[in-house]
Amino acid sequence: MYDGQTILALIPARGGSKGVPRKNLRCLSGKPLIAYTIEAALQANFIDKIIVSTDDLEIANVSKKYGAEVPFIRPEALATDEAKGIDVILHAMQWLEDHNEKFDLLILLQPTSPLRDSEDIKNALSLFVRKNADAVVSVCEAEHSPLWMNTLREDLCMKDFIRKEVLNKNRQELETYYRLNGAIYLAKWNYIKQYKSFYGDKTYAYIMSREKSVDIDSEFDLQFAEFLMKNKNI
């Protein structure tokens, strides 16, 4: 419980992964990837219940070993590449409500963000309370300015690829842009139920460093996260 509000941590972890096979169970500095997110939630202390939504029995068993609950096995229809994340969240919420459990807040912690730690969770919740928010979503500074990006024409001609007023500016002269990093999504339970989203007029950004925002989507990401952990650059 935090500031008088009960909290559910939901960790979505399906078995299928094309970029990195069996991604959520891949070894990272001696532990399966999903273990880091479970441990961060446990170390935050004030989370009332931590559950993993998975379609995979091996992931379920590993999750239980590290301290999470797996009260149900996710339906196959919600474990495909086409399944929407919000539907996975709503399924878990409805299952809990059907079993007489409801919380004030839900925090979604994706296992592909192993460098997000308990302090980030605490800080995001502190921001949520301070702002009297409906939701908080984690972001980090974008690696490259979108002002230097565009789509390409079929003939590869770069006419008007970059706006003239941006063309001769140094990076330091451009505005700072931020991107979603996928590490933390926090919202009021009833807000998610009503709007089926984390985004609205009272959604606030929790800013994380780029180092802690590594999102495991490829073998390179896994190696980079291992490097950061071993060199304590987080």
Would you say residue 93 lies in a domain? yes
Give me the CATH number covering residue 72: 3.90.550.10
Would you say residue 227 lies in a domain? yes
In the predicted structure, residue 67 carries a pLDDT above the cut 60: yes
**Count of structural domains, the chain:** 1
Residue 200: band (very low, low, confident or very high) from pLDDT cuts 50, 70, 90: very high
d(CA 59, CA 35): 10
Burial degree of 147 (CB within 10 A; 0-12, 13-18, 19+): middle
Would you say residue 200 lies in a domain? yes
Strand 135-141 to 178-188 pairing: antiparallel
Task: Identify the pLDDT of residue 50.
Answer: 98
In the predicted structure, residue 171 carries a pLDDT above the cut 80: no
Task: Identify the pLDDT of residue 33.
Answer: 98
Would you say residue 159 lies in a domain? no
Would you say residue 166 lies in a domain? no
Would you say residue 167 lies in a domain? no
Would you say residue 153 lies in a domain? no
Return the half-sphere exposure (C-beta side, CA atoms, 13 A cut-off) of residue 84.
5
Would you say residue 170 lies in a domain? no
pLDDT tens by residue, 114-167:
999 999 999 999 999 999 999 999 999 999 888 889 999 999 999 989 888 888
- Distant-in-sequence, close-in-space partners of 174: CB < 8 Å, separation ≥ 6: 145, 147, 166
In the predicted structure, residue 234 carries a pLDDT above the cut 90: no
d(CA 193, CA 66): 29
Question: Reduced to 3 DSSP states, what percent helix, strand and coil does the chain have, rounded to the nearest 5?
Answer: 35, 20, 45
Give the domain range for residue 60. Answer: 7-145+179-231
Q: How far is CA 25 from CA 116, 137, 183, 185, in A?
A: 17, 25, 18, 22
Residues of the chain with pLDDT > 70, as a percent, come to 99
In the predicted structure, residue 233 carries a pLDDT above the cut 70: no
- Distant-in-sequence, close-in-space partners of 61: CB < 8 Å, separation ≥ 6: none
d(CA 12, CA 91): 11
d(CA 7, CA 127): 15
